[in-house]
Amino acid sequence: MEEPGAPRDRELNSADHLALMAGHAAHNYAPLDVVIASGEGAWVTDVDGRRYLDALAGYSALNFGHRHPQLIKVAVDQLHRLTLTSRAFHAEPLGPFCRALAGLTGKDMVLPMNSGAEAVETALKVARRWGHDVRGVAPDRGTVIVMDGNFHGRTTTIISFSTDEDSRRGFGPYTPGFTVVPYGDVEAIRQAITDDTVAVLLEPIQGEAGVIIPPDGFLREVRELCTRDGVLLIADEIQSGLARTGRTFACDHEDVAPDVYVLGKALGGGIMPVSAIAADRAVMDVITPGSHGSTFGGNPLAAAIGHEVVRMLSTGHWQQRATELGAVLTAGLQSLTDVGVVAVRSRGLWAGVDIDQTLMSGKELCRRLADRGVLAKDTHGSTIRLAPPLVVEDADLELLVDTLRTVLVAAG
């Protein structure tokens, strides 16, 4: 019950909201002291009226920016028609969405879910049942090879093979059946494959780790290895997919087609949590009625939005935009090596930037950027991640780089 005399929500300022969060919300995040009230395109405004350039885009969930009019229209139209039925019945938007997404991925079938972690869990279940039913692995023996430095979500099973102690500590006992190998090391994967291996799960580019790009040819070699040994290649394209890197999927940079795509984030257009896996019938047919599901997975509103996202991606416009603007961003970031930037890793409109750790931490850098109207996210000490919406303009990127230079110069 609201306390007597408490201000209405519309009257709360940033300090009021921060106090509410500190007092009533679980502390599973440590966000910057910015309370966003509205957004449009690549820009957001806080409750006190201050504008910021969003250089994170919801970890790629907002590839098309905040409230893209095309996506908002589809969402509003569907809101007036039908939002949920449960999968006990068919719903009009779902079949067309699945067909469109299957076409975009080049696969036969789609299994829709909600969050990215759910999609990863779905891929793992499919791989293990496929390993049992098709590969002939004995019950309860199917193993999956995963990469050091991975980030696939924070469910109990996923954190069981995480190498991030913050994600794991205190949450055991952990789910067995995973073998961790160094990212980018094909030979380590080769040696880890056994008769019980059902899949190799990897991020084509490791986002949470700091936009880590594997060695040239790594994805092709893993694809060849999986094909040779008869195990599935699962590509987690939740952050890297859907035009972020300048191609529809990051795997496309090496002309690699995984057996299973794991998709999410931008698939919901920044409006709904929408995720899915896509695979050919020979893999997906191991899923039978009752073996997997979700009340909200594939709901009509999510399907309508997801379908529009696929339509937008089918033109190639967003992929080209990410390529062209990515070149601008990369050049700008590389010009900062004289003021404290020690490494830049980028592909498309996505970059990991390492700064001289003697200057400040990545967290402190993000605080100082926010003070100057630019929102970014730190990771692993002195690294920040940049993933502006694909609707960003050249002038916005210039502002981003100039602000970063100003902060670094002041720290030097």
Mean pLDDT over residues 220-247, rounded? Answer: 98
**Rg from Cα positions in the chain:** 22
Going through 295-412 in order, the beta strands assigned E by DSSP cover 341-346, 351-355, 374-375, 377-379, 383-386
pLDDT band at 380; cut points 50, 70, 90: confident
Q: What is the pLDDT of residue 8?
A: 58
Which residue matches tokens 């009021």? 16
Q: What angle do CA 92, 93, 95 make, to 5 degrees?
A: 85
Of residues 46, 161, 178, 265, which has the active-site annotation? 265
Annotated catalytic residue, options 46, 236, 354, 396: 236
Nearest to 102 by CA among 91, 111, 93: 111
pLDDT at residue 148 above 50? yes
* pLDDT tens by residue, 101-126: 999 999 999 999 999 999 999 999 99
Q: What is the mean pLDDT of residues 190-217?
A: 98
Whether residue 265 lies in the annotated active site: yes
Q: What are the pLDDT digits (tens) for 266-324?
A: 999 999 999 999 999 999 999 999 999 999 999 999 999 999 999 999 999 999 999 99
Closest-CA residue to 366 (of 4, 56, 3, 51): 56
First to last CA, the chain: 50
Residue 236 is a catalytic residue: yes
Decide: 35 and 18 in contact? Cβ < 8 Å: yes
3-state secondary structure at position 104: helix
Between 228 and 9, whose confidence is greater?
228
Mean pLDDT across the stretch 138-151? 98
* Averaged pLDDT for residues 222-248: 98
Whether the bond between 173 and the residue before it is cis, its omega within 30 degrees of 0, is yes
pLDDT in tens, 2-42: 554 455 556 899 999 999 999 999 999 999 999 999 999 99
Q: Tell the residue number behind the tokens 């696969």, with chain if given.
A: 107
Q: Residue 301 CB: number of other CB atoms within 10 A? A: 22
Q: Which residue among the candidates 54, 64, 97, 151 is catalytic per the annotation? A: 151
Which value, to the nearest 10 degrees, does the dihedral of the CA atoms of residues 126, 130, 133, 136 take?
A: -140
Instruction: Show Cβ contacts of residue 75 under 8 Å, excluding neighbours closer than 6 positions.
Output: 269, 271, 272, 301, 304, 305
**What is the pLDDT, as a whole number, of residue 9?**
58
pTM for this prediction: 0.97
CA distance 360 to 379: 13
Share of the chain above pLDDT 90, in %: 96
> What number of other Cβ atoms are within 10 A of residue 387's Cβ?
28
DSSP 213: P
Residue 11: predicted pLDDT: 85
Nearest alpha-carbon partner for 275 in 117, 403, 161, 113 = 113
Is-catalytic flag, 133? no
DSSP for 387-402?
---TT--HHHHHHHHH
- How many Cβ atoms from other residues are within 10 Å of residue 384's Cβ? 26
Region 222-231: mean pLDDT is 98
Is 46 in a helix, a strand, or coil? Answer: strand
Task: Work out the percent of the chain whose per-residue pLDDT is above 70.
Answer: 98
Mean pLDDT on 204-212: 97
CATH fold group of domain 69-313: Aspartate Aminotransferase; domain 2 (3.40.640)
DSSP codes of every residue in 246-283? SSSSGGGGGT---SEEEE-GGGGTTTS--EEEEE-HHH
Alpha-carbon distance of 56 to 389, in angstroms, equals 7
Would you place residue 1 in the very low, low, confident or very high pLDDT band (cuts 50, 70, 90)?
very low
Going by DSSP bridges, is the β-strand pair 275-279/109-113 parallel, antiparallel, or unpaired?
Answer: antiparallel
Inter-residue contact 358 to 334 (CB < 8 Å): no
Quick one: the chain helix, strand, coil %, rounded to 5? 40, 15, 45
Closest to 248 (Cα-Cα) out of 227, 268, 263: 263
* Paired sense of beta strands 197-202 and 232-236, if any: parallel
The Cα 364–Cα 346 span in angstroms is 22
Task: Tell me the one-letter amino acid at 164.
Answer: D
Query: Average pLDDT in the 160-165 region?
Result: 96
Q: Which residues pair with 145 in a beta bridge?
A: 179, 200
The SS3 of residue 53 is: strand
